[in-house]
Structure 1
Amino acid sequence: MLRRVLLPAMLGLALSPFAAQAQDAAAGQRVFNQCRACHTIDAGGRSGVGPNLHGVADRAAGAVQGFRYSNPMRERAAAGLTWTEENLRAYLADPKSVVPGGSMSFAGIRNPQQLADLIAYLQAQK
Protein backbone atom coordinates (compact mmCIF):
# COMPACT_ATOMS: atom_id res chain seq x y z
CA MET A 1 0.00 0.00 0.00
CA LEU A 2 2.76 2.42 0.95
CA ARG A 3 4.54 1.82 -2.37
CA ARG A 4 1.40 2.63 -4.31
CA VAL A 5 1.22 6.00 -2.59
CA LEU A 6 4.90 6.94 -2.37
CA LEU A 7 6.08 5.96 -5.84
CA PRO A 8 3.52 8.08 -7.74
CA ALA A 9 4.12 10.94 -5.32
CA MET A 10 7.87 10.76 -5.86
CA LEU A 11 7.47 10.56 -9.62
CA GLY A 12 5.06 13.48 -9.58
CA LEU A 13 7.57 15.57 -7.67
CA ALA A 14 10.39 14.65 -10.01
CA LEU A 15 8.28 15.55 -13.04
CA SER A 16 6.83 18.77 -11.66
CA PRO A 17 7.72 21.94 -13.56
CA PHE A 18 9.44 23.28 -10.43
CA ALA A 19 11.92 20.40 -10.28
CA ALA A 20 13.62 21.70 -13.43
CA GLN A 21 13.82 25.17 -11.91
CA ALA A 22 16.22 24.29 -9.11
CA GLN A 23 18.81 27.03 -9.15
CA ASP A 24 22.51 26.24 -9.48
CA ALA A 25 24.77 29.26 -8.97
CA ALA A 26 27.84 27.39 -10.30
CA ALA A 27 25.99 26.64 -13.53
CA GLY A 28 24.81 30.26 -13.53
CA GLN A 29 28.42 31.42 -13.51
CA ARG A 30 28.91 29.55 -16.78
CA VAL A 31 25.74 31.15 -18.20
CA PHE A 32 27.13 34.55 -17.14
CA ASN A 33 30.03 34.03 -19.55
CA GLN A 34 27.76 35.22 -22.35
CA CYS A 35 27.23 38.46 -20.40
CA ARG A 36 30.95 39.13 -19.94
CA ALA A 37 31.29 40.77 -23.35
CA CYS A 38 29.49 43.80 -21.89
CA HIS A 39 29.34 43.37 -18.09
CA THR A 40 31.72 42.78 -15.20
CA ILE A 41 30.61 41.36 -11.86
CA ASP A 42 33.59 41.89 -9.54
CA ALA A 43 33.05 43.98 -6.39
CA GLY A 44 34.25 47.47 -7.20
CA GLY A 45 34.82 46.44 -10.82
CA ARG A 46 34.58 48.80 -13.71
CA SER A 47 31.61 49.04 -15.99
CA GLY A 48 31.97 48.02 -19.60
CA VAL A 49 29.46 48.56 -22.37
CA GLY A 50 26.96 47.62 -19.65
CA PRO A 51 27.10 48.41 -15.94
CA ASN A 52 28.97 46.31 -13.38
CA LEU A 53 26.48 43.75 -12.06
CA HIS A 54 27.98 43.04 -8.63
CA GLY A 55 25.11 43.33 -6.14
CA VAL A 56 22.48 43.75 -8.86
CA ALA A 57 19.94 41.49 -7.10
CA ASP A 58 17.43 43.66 -5.23
CA ARG A 59 19.23 46.85 -6.29
CA ALA A 60 17.39 49.80 -7.78
CA ALA A 61 17.70 49.93 -11.56
CA GLY A 62 20.07 52.57 -12.92
CA ALA A 63 22.05 52.77 -9.68
CA VAL A 64 25.66 52.18 -10.77
CA GLN A 65 27.42 55.50 -10.26
CA GLY A 66 29.20 56.82 -13.33
CA PHE A 67 27.47 54.52 -15.80
CA ARG A 68 25.56 56.27 -18.57
CA TYR A 69 22.19 54.50 -18.79
CA SER A 70 19.82 54.87 -21.73
CA ASN A 71 16.92 57.28 -21.38
CA PRO A 72 14.37 54.43 -21.23
CA MET A 73 16.33 52.76 -18.42
CA ARG A 74 16.62 56.05 -16.52
CA GLU A 75 12.85 56.51 -16.89
CA ARG A 76 12.14 53.00 -15.57
CA ALA A 77 14.59 53.61 -12.71
CA ALA A 78 12.87 56.90 -11.84
CA ALA A 79 9.55 55.01 -11.82
CA GLY A 80 10.96 52.68 -9.16
CA LEU A 81 12.19 49.62 -11.06
CA THR A 82 14.14 47.36 -8.71
CA TRP A 83 15.95 44.18 -9.74
CA THR A 84 13.87 41.74 -7.75
CA GLU A 85 14.04 38.09 -8.79
CA GLU A 86 10.79 38.52 -10.72
CA ASN A 87 12.05 41.62 -12.57
CA LEU A 88 15.44 40.03 -13.29
CA ARG A 89 13.68 36.96 -14.68
CA ALA A 90 11.52 39.06 -17.00
CA TYR A 91 14.39 41.31 -18.08
CA LEU A 92 16.90 38.54 -18.69
CA ALA A 93 14.33 36.57 -20.69
CA ASP A 94 13.35 39.56 -22.86
CA PRO A 95 15.07 42.89 -22.09
CA LYS A 96 12.99 44.88 -24.59
CA SER A 97 9.73 43.83 -22.94
CA VAL A 98 10.82 45.32 -19.61
CA VAL A 99 12.67 48.38 -20.94
CA PRO A 100 11.31 49.14 -24.42
CA GLY A 101 13.81 51.23 -26.35
CA GLY A 102 16.62 50.36 -23.94
CA SER A 103 20.15 50.00 -25.25
CA MET A 104 20.81 46.40 -24.16
CA SER A 105 21.26 44.50 -27.40
CA PHE A 106 21.03 41.04 -25.81
CA ALA A 107 18.02 39.07 -27.13
CA GLY A 108 17.39 37.23 -23.87
CA ILE A 109 17.78 33.80 -22.30
CA ARG A 110 15.09 31.41 -23.47
CA ASN A 111 16.19 28.29 -21.58
CA PRO A 112 14.34 28.31 -18.21
CA GLN A 113 17.06 26.31 -16.43
CA GLN A 114 19.83 28.63 -17.63
CA LEU A 115 17.74 31.62 -16.59
CA ALA A 116 17.16 30.20 -13.10
CA ASP A 117 20.86 29.36 -12.74
CA LEU A 118 21.95 32.83 -13.89
CA ILE A 119 19.63 34.49 -11.38
CA ALA A 120 21.03 32.28 -8.60
CA TYR A 121 24.54 33.36 -9.60
CA LEU A 122 23.60 37.05 -9.68
CA GLN A 123 21.92 36.75 -6.27
CA ALA A 124 25.08 35.21 -4.82
CA GLN A 125 27.20 38.19 -5.93
CA LYS A 126 26.68 40.51 -2.96
Structure 2
Amino acid sequence: MTIHLDHFIVSARDKVASARLLAELLGVPWAETTIGPFSAVYINDGLTLDFIDTDEDFPVEHFCFRVSDQKFDAILGRIQAAGIKYRSSVRGPMDMQVSTYLGGKGIYWNEPEGHQWEMLTVSYARQAG
Protein backbone atom coordinates (compact mmCIF):
# COMPACT_ATOMS: atom_id res chain seq x y z
CA MET A 1 0.00 0.00 0.00
CA THR A 2 1.19 3.51 -0.81
CA ILE A 3 1.71 5.78 2.19
CA HIS A 4 -0.63 8.77 2.26
CA LEU A 5 -0.68 11.67 4.69
CA ASP A 6 -4.12 11.49 6.32
CA HIS A 7 -4.24 14.53 8.63
CA PHE A 8 -2.10 17.11 10.32
CA ILE A 9 -2.78 18.88 13.63
CA VAL A 10 -2.43 22.66 13.40
CA SER A 11 -2.03 24.55 16.69
CA ALA A 12 -4.00 27.77 17.06
CA ARG A 13 -5.17 30.30 19.62
CA ASP A 14 -8.62 30.25 17.96
CA LYS A 15 -9.11 26.98 16.09
CA VAL A 16 -12.54 27.88 14.74
CA ALA A 17 -11.49 31.25 13.28
CA SER A 18 -8.32 29.75 11.76
CA ALA A 19 -10.13 26.74 10.28
CA ARG A 20 -12.97 28.86 8.92
CA LEU A 21 -10.60 31.35 7.24
CA LEU A 22 -8.49 28.69 5.54
CA ALA A 23 -11.56 26.74 4.37
CA GLU A 24 -13.17 29.89 2.97
CA LEU A 25 -9.99 30.90 1.13
CA LEU A 26 -9.43 27.43 -0.33
CA GLY A 27 -13.12 26.92 -1.08
CA VAL A 28 -13.29 23.62 0.82
CA PRO A 29 -15.61 22.37 3.59
CA TRP A 30 -14.80 22.61 7.28
CA ALA A 31 -16.41 21.66 10.57
CA GLU A 32 -16.50 23.84 13.67
CA THR A 33 -16.34 20.72 15.82
CA THR A 34 -15.43 17.15 14.99
CA ILE A 35 -14.55 14.11 17.02
CA GLY A 36 -12.38 15.27 19.88
CA PRO A 37 -11.05 18.81 20.30
CA PHE A 38 -10.60 19.63 16.62
CA SER A 39 -12.00 21.98 14.00
CA ALA A 40 -11.28 20.23 10.71
CA VAL A 41 -10.63 21.61 7.24
CA TYR A 42 -11.32 18.96 4.60
CA ILE A 43 -8.57 19.58 2.02
CA ASN A 44 -9.53 16.59 -0.15
CA ASP A 45 -10.97 13.07 0.20
CA GLY A 46 -7.84 11.87 1.98
CA LEU A 47 -6.49 14.82 3.97
CA THR A 48 -7.75 17.03 6.78
CA LEU A 49 -6.03 19.80 8.69
CA ASP A 50 -7.27 19.46 12.27
CA PHE A 51 -7.01 22.78 14.10
CA ILE A 52 -6.65 22.55 17.89
CA ASP A 53 -6.73 25.32 20.49
CA THR A 54 -3.68 25.75 22.69
CA ASP A 55 -2.35 28.31 25.14
CA GLU A 56 1.17 26.91 24.77
CA ASP A 57 3.81 28.36 22.48
CA PHE A 58 3.90 26.60 19.12
CA PRO A 59 6.19 26.86 16.10
CA VAL A 60 5.10 28.53 12.91
CA GLU A 61 4.45 25.73 10.42
CA HIS A 62 4.55 25.80 6.61
CA PHE A 63 1.83 24.12 4.55
CA CYS A 64 1.81 23.99 0.74
CA PHE A 65 -1.21 23.26 -1.45
CA ARG A 66 -0.80 22.20 -5.08
CA VAL A 67 -3.80 23.24 -7.15
CA SER A 68 -4.86 23.58 -10.79
CA ASP A 69 -4.47 26.90 -12.61
CA GLN A 70 -8.22 27.45 -12.38
CA LYS A 71 -8.31 26.81 -8.61
CA PHE A 72 -5.22 28.98 -8.13
CA ASP A 73 -6.95 31.93 -9.78
CA ALA A 74 -10.12 31.40 -7.72
CA ILE A 75 -8.24 31.11 -4.41
CA LEU A 76 -6.03 34.09 -5.23
CA GLY A 77 -9.19 36.08 -5.94
CA ARG A 78 -10.57 35.20 -2.49
CA ILE A 79 -7.24 36.11 -0.84
CA GLN A 80 -7.26 39.47 -2.61
CA ALA A 81 -10.94 40.09 -1.77
CA ALA A 82 -10.16 39.40 1.90
CA GLY A 83 -7.33 41.97 1.81
CA ILE A 84 -4.72 39.38 2.78
CA LYS A 85 -1.15 40.34 1.87
CA TYR A 86 0.87 37.74 -0.03
CA ARG A 87 4.31 37.38 -1.56
CA SER A 88 6.10 35.63 -4.39
CA SER A 89 8.97 34.18 -2.33
CA VAL A 90 9.14 32.15 0.86
CA ARG A 91 10.97 34.77 2.94
CA GLY A 92 10.57 37.88 0.81
CA PRO A 93 8.55 41.05 1.25
CA MET A 94 4.76 41.17 0.85
CA ASP A 95 5.12 42.19 -2.80
CA MET A 96 1.60 41.12 -3.88
CA GLN A 97 3.19 39.30 -6.83
CA VAL A 98 2.77 35.78 -8.19
CA SER A 99 5.88 33.64 -8.67
CA THR A 100 6.29 31.84 -12.00
CA TYR A 101 8.96 29.42 -10.74
CA LEU A 102 9.20 26.26 -12.90
CA GLY A 103 6.64 27.71 -15.31
CA GLY A 104 3.77 27.54 -12.82
CA LYS A 105 2.21 30.02 -10.41
CA GLY A 106 2.83 30.33 -6.69
CA ILE A 107 2.27 32.57 -3.67
CA TYR A 108 2.84 32.57 0.09
CA TRP A 109 0.75 34.17 2.83
CA ASN A 110 0.55 34.03 6.61
CA GLU A 111 -2.60 33.45 8.58
CA PRO A 112 -3.35 35.32 11.82
CA GLU A 113 -1.79 32.57 13.98
CA GLY A 114 1.48 33.01 12.06
CA HIS A 115 1.44 29.77 10.08
CA GLN A 116 2.69 30.12 6.52
CA TRP A 117 0.54 28.88 3.66
CA GLU A 118 1.84 28.32 0.15
CA MET A 119 -0.13 27.63 -3.01
CA LEU A 120 1.43 26.51 -6.30
CA THR A 121 0.46 24.95 -9.59
CA VAL A 122 3.72 23.11 -10.39
CA SER A 123 5.39 21.08 -7.65
CA TYR A 124 9.11 21.34 -7.10
CA ALA A 125 9.00 18.43 -4.63
CA ARG A 126 10.80 15.85 -6.70
CA GLN A 127 12.92 12.93 -5.68
CA ALA A 128 16.57 13.39 -6.61
CA GLY A 129 17.45 11.13 -9.49
TM-score, normalisation: structure 2 = 0.26
Which has more helix, going by share of residues?
1
Q: Higher Cα Rg: structure 1 or 2?
A: 1
**TM-score, normalised by the number of residues in structure 1:** 0.27
